[in-house]
Structure 1
Amino acid sequence: MERFTSFDFGLSALTALFHQDWIHLGGVEEVVLAHLSVGEASIADEAQQKEAAALERDVAVLAGSTLRDGQIEVLFSTATAGNYSFQGGETGRSLLERIHSTCRQWQQEYGAIPAESSPKWSSSDSMAAVRSIIGDTPMCFPDEYLRCCGSPVDELRSALDACAQSASAELAFRLLLRIHLANFIPVAESSWARYRMTAAELSLGEELLSSLDFLVN
């Protein structure tokens, strides 16, 4: 089964919009709407509806998982290269609720369809492969990120592993790829073949994988 897009999607794709200047878009809700934008069209096409469905599902499974709020915060902040910080008592789940609520409002206006699914993507074999990658892959953060945020590697691995076990292994893998891109973390040559094999098993698109080519060493 092929995905509706060969690029990133869902929550991992949304985090890319939380770049250094994201605040100029407005609040979290405005970022979600920009991500799901239909432009000047009055209706959404099927691909846009599937993107909304993927985002809604990612947020729902993560919010309903056993991850602690702090672990959700680590995942989201690291996937945005630290450009999103939790302040004023905001928690990981309260952020997810804001995203989920905005996504559902969009679906009420433009139409809701089921998120794509396949038993293969949620199989025990896929979970084992993703957890193995999370445990083994080197994560060498740039010095400037470490100076700002300290070394998040052990905590990040734990949060990604918990996501793979309790929420979605496929989401955990996409977040790992996004974390590589957001923080310019090199991908070890020894890990790259495993990344590509797992991406193929999860039916992730070629453009998503090729976006990491420049990081492979």
Structure 2
Amino acid sequence: MQRFTTFDFGLTGLAALFHQDWIHLGGVEQVVLAYLSVGEEPYADDDQKKEAAELERDAAALTSSPLSDDQVELLWVMATGGNYPFRHSETGRMFLERIRKACRQWVQTYGTIDADANPEWVSAQAASEVREAIDNTPLNLPDECRTYFDSDVQALRDALDRCAHSASADLAFRLLLRIHVANFIPVNGTSWESYTGIARRLSLGEDLLSSVEFLVD
């Protein structure tokens, strides 16, 4: 079974919109609605409805997972290259609820459809391969990451591993790829071989993988 898109999607697709100038779009809810925008059309097609469903599923998986709010925040800050710093009393789950609220608002207007599903994507084998990739990849963070990432790399590995183990291996793998891209973290040859194998197992599209390929040593 193929995915509805060859590009990134869900939370990791949304993370790309949190670039340096995202604040000009408005608040978090406005960024979500911009991400799900149907332009001037009065309706949404099935692919657009699936995008909303995937975003809601990713956010729900993290919300209900055993990950701490600090781990959720760490993953999101890294996935956005430091462009979404958590401030004041906002927690990771409060942030996720803002995303889910915007998704519900969109669905009320345009309707809903089930997210893609395949037993292979949630299999123990897939989770094992993703966790092994997280454990083995070097994750050599550039110095500029230290401006928003003040912990050790193991904390990042632990958050990704916990996501893969107890929330969604699919999401954890896409977060790993997104963190590479957002922070220009190199990918060595061995890790790239592992990544391409996992991407095939998870039926992730060629455009998602090609967005990471420029970082391969």
**TM-score interval (norm. to shorter):** over 0.9
Which stretch shifts more, 5-14 or 136-145?
A: 136-145
Aligned partner of 1:73: which letter? E
Alpha-carbon shift at residue 152 of structure 1 (Å): 4.2
Structure 1 equivalent of residue 153 of structure 2: 153
Counterpart amino acid of residue 55 in structure 2: L
1:155-194 correspondence runs (5 A): 155-194=155-194
Residue by residue over 1:67-109, the C-alpha shift from the partner in whole angstroms, topping out at 9 and shown as x without a partner, is 0000000000000011101111000000000000100110111
**Inter-partner Cα distance in structure 1 for 2:148 and 2:2:** 40
- Structure 1: gaps of 5 or more residues: none
Q: Which residue in the other structure is 1:25 paired with?
A: 25
Identity of aligned residues (%): 60
- Establish whether residue 202 from structure 1 lines up as the match of residue 210 from structure 2: no
SS in 2 for 1:149: coil
The number of residues matched between the two structures is 217
Partner of 2:214, secondary structure, is helix
Q: Distance in 2 between matches of 1:212 and 1:165?
A: 23
The unaligned stretches of length 5 or more in structure 2 are none
Residue 39 (1) aligns with residue 39 (2): yes
Greater Cα shift, 137-146 or 49-58: 137-146
Post-superposition offset of 1:141:
1.2
Q: CA deviation at 1:146?
A: 2.0
Residue type of the partner of 2:170?
Answer: E
Instruction: Give the whole-Å Cα distance in 1 for the aligned partners of 2:113 and 2:147.
Output: 44
Q: Which residue type is aligned with residue 62 of structure 1?
A: L
Matched letter for residue 154 of structure 1 = Q
**What's the CA shift for 1:151?**
4.5
**Partners in 1 of 2:48 and 2:152 — Cα distance?**
34
CA distance in 1, matches of 2:46, 2:148: 41
Which amino acid in the other structure matches residue 123 of structure 1? S
Partner of 1:69: 69
Task: Give the CA deviation at 1:147.
Answer: 4.3
Mapping for residues 72-83 of structure 1, pairs under 5 Å = 72-83=72-83
Residue in structure 1 matched with residue 6 of structure 2 by the alignment: 6
Alignment of 1:56-135 (within 5 A): 56-135=56-135
Q: Aligned-pair distance for 1:154?
A: 1.0
Which whole-Å deviations, capped at 9, do the CAs of 1:109-134 have from their partners, x for residues lacking one? 10111111110000000000000000
Measured on the aligned residues, the alpha-carbon RMSD in Å equals 0.9
Per-residue deviation at 1:150? Answer: 2.9
